[in-house]
Amino acid sequence: MAPELIVRTTSGLVRGKAEAGVLAFLGVPYAAPPFGEHRFAAPVPVSWDGVRPALTHGPAAPQAPGEDIGLYAPDVFEAGEDCLNLDIRTPMIGPAGLPVLVWIHGGAFAIGGNGAAWHQGHRFARDGVVCVAINYRLGFEGFLALEDAPLNRGVLDWLAALAWVRDNIAAFGGDPGNVTIAGQSAGGAAVATLLSMPRAAGLFHRAVVMSGSATLAATEQEARDHAKALAARLGIDPTRSAFARLSPAALVAEQPPPLSGGPGGLSASVPIKPVVDGDLVPAVPLAALGSSAHIPLLVGCTTQEADVFVRRFAADVDAAGAQALLDHLGVQVDEPGLTPAERVGRAFTEHLFTREARWIREARPAYAYEFRWESPVESPVGGGRVGAVHNLDLPFVFDLLDAPGVGRTAGPAAPQALADAMHAAWVRFARTGDPGWPLDHLWRF
């Protein structure tokens, strides 16, 4: 009989399992459930007696169901109150001193979870990197600016998870002195935010921003006004005690859609986001990235992030209308042979993603990449092909072309050689801080 996989953490003992050729410890709490007396509070430590099974994913944060447009993995997240948890995949337990990758999921700070099929970490563990994926408070639970509650509770959750990793990852084979934080979309914005925060200093040593932003932040006045307007609409005070009388599901029902669209830039399109409070988040992250210039950074995006999504809204636009919209955005698309709808889609990719990556590279040194491989699959929305769409790079980075949903999005012949190359670059970066190309070069996958 195989020995039991039991590890002692600062909170108590956990029992893991062998899974996909590595060791998995799933749903491990890094803080107490943020509900009941802890609702709308900063995360607090958690402990338990005996041996806690860590065999299945923990709950994701309360959220509305994600929109299924027929492109992505069929993820259904089991939400619950014990949502401050993390998953660990490792090749071995004990003092092995392996590099660590901490993954922060995306979802516009409103949806998602660490159980998503396209970013499971067992193949990082297979290749000698301990992979940790965290859940954190989303939506109003994590970011609504109530009068008598701490701001940026979701951000505080990231810090609590990273502190847990610092204090415990050595027992799971990891090196607390070699931690890379990585995230995609809103997770990439989370990484950029952490890079700008003095309180995050020392908790990580490298960073990866995939399809993220360093401008995704609200002013405190905007956040306070939003909370007051919501409270007035509900007929309650904008206080912790008043909002705590709403169930998590009822509060989720009051949230705006994760993405509002429109020409106001990425920050204006994401209604729920971190708040610049002058303390925890001292400034819009882009303005403070220079303080982390000593931390190796990898940043990039896909070539056609927003194209397929925008094309469905711009299907009937004519050439004059497309040009008027591009002029309003201040973006020009000169690629020949595009339809008006395709020009609009390409313009929004530049407006919302490409220039964000470029701004980060201009603010501080960073290794840069562009994911250019285009899926040949016909899009179920907006017409045309899926192309190099938002999220498509995830199963390549995690070497998960066999994950659910990849075939319907990337097609049956997605190139494994490309997944090998991307995954190897991320593994190399986690080990050494160098993905394998010059710092001043835009690497194209």
User: What is the C-alpha separation between 80 and 101, in angstroms, rounded?
Assistant: 25
Comparing C-alpha atoms, which of 16, 100, 106, 14 is closest to residue 60?
106
Which residue in this structure is represented by tokens 């993405």?
Answer: 259
Given the residues 57, 122, 226, 390, the one annotated as active site: 390
- Is 305 marked active-site? yes
- E strand segments, 146-230: 174-184, 206-210, 218-219
User: What is the C-alpha separation between 79 and 62, in angstroms, rounded?
Assistant: 5
> In sequence order, which ranges of 26-152 are alpha helices (DSSP H)?
122-126, 139-143
Task: Look up residue 331 and give its two tokens.
Answer: 């973006």
Q: Classify burial at 3, counting beta carbons within 10 Å of its beta carbon; exposed 0-12, middle 13-18, buried 19 or more.
A: exposed
Q: Classify burial at 308, counting beta carbons within 10 Å of its beta carbon; exposed 0-12, middle 13-18, buried 19 or more.
A: buried
- Is 379 marked active-site? no
What is the SS3 assignment for 99? strand
User: What is the C-alpha separation between 213 and 136, in angstroms, rounded?
Assistant: 19
CB atoms within 10 A of CB 394: 26
User: What is the C-alpha separation between 307 and 387, in angstroms, rounded?
Assistant: 8
Q: Classify burial at 189, counting beta carbons within 10 Å of its beta carbon; exposed 0-12, middle 13-18, buried 19 or more.
A: buried
Comparing C-alpha atoms, which of 14, 35, 145 is closest to residue 79?
35
- Is 375 marked active-site? no
User: What is the C-alpha separation between 341 and 79, in angstroms, rounded?
Assistant: 37
What is the SS3 assignment for 286? helix
User: What is the C-alpha separation between 84 and 282, in angstroms, rounded?
Assistant: 24
What is the SS3 assignment for 397? helix
Chain centroid, CA 47 distance in Å: 27
Given the residues 119, 226, 305, 351, the one annotated as active site: 305
Q: Are strands 206-210 and 130-134 parallel, antiparallel or unpaired?
A: unpaired
Distances (CA, A) of 263 to 215, 260, 304, 328: 15, 10, 17, 8
Given the residues 185, 196, 269, 379, the one annotated as active site: 185
Q: Classify burial at 212, counting beta carbons within 10 Å of its beta carbon; exposed 0-12, middle 13-18, buried 19 or more.
A: buried
CB atoms within 10 A of CB 316: 8
| Backbone phi and psi for residue 25, each to the nearest 5 degrees, phi listed first | -125, 105
Q: Give the active site residues.
A: 185, 305, 390
